[in-house]
A and B are shown apart, each in its own frame.
Chain A
Amino acid sequence: MNILLALIPISLLLLGAAIWAFLWAVRGGQFDDLDTPALDMLRDEDRPAPPRTPAPPARPDGD
């Protein structure tokens, strides 16, 4: 049973570390938006250069 005297303090240390890491993540804004980052990984970043024109002129293609 003496092993408990070592294991329980270790578990408490781990708990403390987990709580510290969690609070650090909260302060760093990791939990601000949980939905958008999930979409980011679905797309490649290397796209052609952005168009510089503010907006293409309105042109109805229909006739």
Chain B
Amino acid sequence: MNRALDLRCFHCGEALPADPVKVRIGDQDRLVCCTGCGAAANWIRDAGLADYYTLRQADGARVDIAPGDYSAWDRGDVQSGHAVATPEGREITVVVEGMRCAACAWLIDHALRREPGVCDVGANAVTGRVRIGWNPDATPLSNVLSRLAALGYRPHLAQGEAAERERRRERNRLIARLGVAALGATQAMMFAEALYLDTANEMAPATRDFFRWITFLVSTPVVFFSGWPFLTGMVAELRHRRPGMDTLVATSVLLAYFASLVETLRGGAHVWFDAAVMFVLFLLAARFLERMARRQASAQLDTLARAQPALAWRETVAGREQVPVTALAAGDVVQVAAGDTVPADGELLDRAAAMDESLLTGESVPVPKAAGDLLYAGSTCRESAARLRVTRTGSDTRLSQLTRAVEQAQAQRPRLARFADAVAMRFVVALFIAAGLVFWAWWQVEPARAFEIALAVLVVSCPCALSLAVPAALATSHGALAKRGVLALGADALETLAQADTVVLDKTGTLTLGRPRLVRADAVGDGDVQALQRIAAALEANAGHPLAAAFADGAVPVASQVVAAPGQGVSGTVDGREWRLGRAEFACAGQDDGALWLGDGARAFARFEVADPLRPDAREAVAALRELGLAPRLLSGDGQATVAAVATEVGITDFHARQSPEDKLAAVRALQAAGHRVLAVGDGINDAPVLAGADVSVAMAAGAPLAHRSAGLVLAGSALMRLPESVALARRCRRIIHQNLGWALAYNVVALPFAALGWVTPGLAALGMAASSLVVTANALRLGRAPRGNE
């Protein structure tokens, strides 16, 4: 049984490589995937925090082997606007990646508190934020952050102090509203109870009125303070002439409240203050749960888009200086080290370089550039350092253009006619017309009862159940989705997900793991494969090549005089011997066969096949999607051969290679024009416009922040099977919403004629209102349970 578990890294839960690292935790040897995770696990054990492994509910994040450089964070110009002075020193709030459960927050709290110079730590697993108070004289901030990164939690700058405070305040206000609603509603219920128990009408009118006025007093803050979001929502909806859910809710609450006030004033037979306040409480709770589930998702993802203090090396007369990217201007000369990101669009100076533009184009093979060629901001400098003259900065760069494309596509996202809103709008109008007609009819027949009966019509058909129908179902489904590691960011993502009939998939990082791995290593003749592999790793590591990690992690010999030949390979000296690694004709004067060869320029020593492996459940997930009636399509920026191979392997017949972000978006638009509802799945910045333009989109959590921002849902784990599961859940959710709406409408349609005929006593009206709301809520709660059978 433990076999399957043993194949995954003990720390981060990813698949183990062929030669895993052993770590002793407690009295057992555990296997981890790399030295990064190993170091983190060792540290956690040595710090006496191994309880983390028993407390946690989700796997940790994979730890980078090479720790990041956080020295830029110590600069005053980076900290300004983010850190504030406190009596003990300074305080900053950072967003961290990979905080997945309360145990992570616990681990961060305890680990950082042990760092010298740290005076206060507050990690919050819900928002993914860590508040760090430190003494700048005792320790630089970068030390603390390196500790954080060494445990697998990469820190990023949060939005800035003011925005953070506003975020906290808004959340607290919502909690305060909910608390006041809960306390006020229970109290109002107690007073209303006294009135209900007076079944024989024996209470003196004075006592009865006293109770009514007290209930009025207690309900007023609930309706107007706690219910404020609904009231402002109604005003906004009415101003845009689009009455929707908030209008419906606010109408019901105000109706019950003012009807009761009128009855109190004229000494009528019944009041419904309790119904008004309970209703506010239920709806606010449903809204709170749904909001929190979504905000938790966006709090962690949204801010990552403007993360990392971005600095650049600018050349000056005296030498070079480090400046924030925003300070760059056209004409500046900037130096980019190998492995660093280009800060602005510019012209390459001096010598040729290879640029990794995968962020922009999705093409994972570095593009060779000659002097004078244009380099794009956001691409990564491979193999050797480069100098460039800045031509465009900030919002003029290609990267920013892509970002704008995302925003435009988002604005043009086809909005579905929202069924519930449309129903609600017509219902409210019809309700008032019906009440008016009833009042008029009774005025002709029996003017004394006209007001009372019109009121009964309004109360009995008060659209409580109708307005609970949708939020209750949405709150439960969001909770159920979050439990499976799917975070819904958009409010209407679920609704659209249920209607999708075509799914557009990206290859790299979506169907595949997005990390190249060594799939096959052969020594030529009787060489030692392990030793040759380490030599290859040494060459690659020095060249800062993305493939380096694929070769080995562990002890790697040191290579010297490493020179990269763009598009060919690398050469260098290891253990006093010259080696070449790359295409066959470069490494060993052979024929190029797509594999990597290690040689000395003439003789071949080893052949390596490197590939980006498929996610283990990719095939299964595609089959499940097809079973749900979604036609899968593969659109990738990669070459024809690779895309075709992956498509056949997962069972997709409809695939397109060499697609730019614009091509992909056009393809999606064409599908939409043909009447399809498109679900897009992707991970990179190059997918962002597609994700934003599709009817509904899912981004992989490991992907680019910009992709997250444009997606409706984010898949937190690495399991692709969650995708069909979410579609199935969204469909069940839609079915339940329709059932609820049907039930609520049927109840109203049946009850209205009885009330209009004057047969419904006010007590009966209150009972019916509560019962129909309960039925709707109970029906929605079914979504939280596991689906039966093969649903």
Contact = CB atoms under 8 A, between A and B. Distances in A.
Interface of A: 1, 4, 8, 11-12, 15, 18-19, 22-23, 26-27, 29, 31-36, 38-40, 42-43, 47-48, 50-52, 54-58, 60-62
Contact of A35 (B109, B126, B143, B217): B126
A62 to B, nearest CB: 5
A32 B183 contact: no
Nearest to A34: B126
A21 to B, nearest CB: 10
Contact of A36 (B19, B40, B124): B124
12 contacts: A19-B183, A22-B179, A23-B179, A29-B168, A33-B124, A38-B102, A47-B48, A50-B114, A54-B150, A60-B22, A60-B555, A61-B23
Contacts of B36: 58
Contacts of B106: 36, 39-40
A60 to B, nearest CB: 5
Given A15-B187, A50-B47, A55 B55 contact: no
Contacts of A60: 21-22, 35, 38, 554-555
Given A26-B175, A51-B114, 5 more contacts: A15-B187, A23-B179, A23-B180, A27-B172, A50-B114
A38 to B, nearest CB: 7
A40 B39 CA distance: 24
A43 B51 contact: yes
Contacts of B122: 32
B24 A61 contact: yes
Interface in B183-202: 183-184, 187, 190-191
Contacts of A19: 179-180, 183-184
B20 A62 contact: yes
B175 A33 contact: no
Contacts of A1: 204, 207
Interface in B37-89: 38-40, 42-43, 46-48, 51, 55, 65, 67
A49 to B, nearest CB: 8
Nearest to B52: A39
B147 interface: yes
B146 A54 contact: yes
A11 to B, nearest CB: 7
Nearest to A1: B207
A55 B214 contact: no
A33 B48 contact: no
A52 B118 CA distance: 13
B548 to A, nearest CB: 15
Chain A interface mostly helix, strand, loop or mixed?
loop
A49 B124 CA distance: 25
A31 B115 CA distance: 27
Contacts of A36: 102, 105-106, 109, 123-125
Nearest to A11: B187
A19 B222 CA distance: 12
Interface string B157-169: 0000000000010
A4 B168 CA distance: 42
Main SS class of interface, B = helix
A50 B109 CA distance: 13
Q: A23, A39, A52: which has the most chain B beta carbons within 10 Å?
A: A39
Contacts of B38: 58, 60
B280 interface: no
Given A15-B187, A35-B102, A61-B22, A48 B176 contact: no
B125 to A, nearest CB: 6
A54 B146 CA distance: 8
A48 B103 CA distance: 20
Nearest to A39: B106
Nearest to B555: A60
Nearest to B36: A58
B125 A58 contact: no
A33 to B, nearest CB: 5
Interface in B403-445: none
A43 B564 CA distance: 53
Contacts of A4: 207, 210
B43 A51 contact: yes
Contacts of B234: none
Contacts of B114: 50-51
A45 to B, nearest CB: 9
Nearest to B150: A55
A55 B66 CA distance: 12
A53 to B, nearest CB: 9
B22 to A, nearest CB: 4
B249 interface: no
B116 interface: yes
B464 interface: no
Nearest to A60: B21
Contacts of B109: 36
A28 B115 CA distance: 26
Contact of A48 (B20, B48, B180): B48
A57 to B, nearest CB: 8
A35 B187 CA distance: 29
Contacts of B20: 62
A36 to B, nearest CB: 4
Contacts of B124: 32-33, 36
Nearest to A16: B183
B554 to A, nearest CB: 5
B479 to A, nearest CB: 15
B334 to A, nearest CB: 31
Contact of A54 (B23, B101, B147): B147
B78 to A, nearest CB: 22
B453 interface: no
Contacts of B143: 54
B218 A56 contact: no
A35 B296 CA distance: 13
The 5 A-B pairs at the shortest CB distance, nearest first, are namely A50-B114, A35-B102, A58-B35, A61-B22, A36-B105
Interface in B92-132: 101-103, 105-106, 109, 114-116, 122-126
A18 B180 CA distance: 9
A61 B42 CA distance: 11
B277 to A, nearest CB: 13
B183 A15 contact: yes
Contacts of B146: 54
A55 B151 CA distance: 9
Contacts of A47: 48
A26 B179 contact: yes
A42 B51 contact: yes
Given A15-B218, A33-B124, A33-B126, A39 B46 contact: no
Nearest to B116: A52
A31 B292 CA distance: 13
Contacts of A34: 126
A54 B47 CA distance: 11
A48 B49 CA distance: 11
Contact of B175 (A31, A39, A48, A57): A31
Contacts of B207: 1, 4
A29 B39 CA distance: 34
A28 to B, nearest CB: 10
Contacts of A56: 39, 42-43, 46
Interface in B656-710: none
Given A8-B214, A33-B126, A58 B102 contact: no
A22 B65 CA distance: 46
B20 to A, nearest CB: 7
A38 B36 CA distance: 29
Contact of A12 (B22, B103, B214): B214
A23 B643 CA distance: 58
Nearest to B113: A50
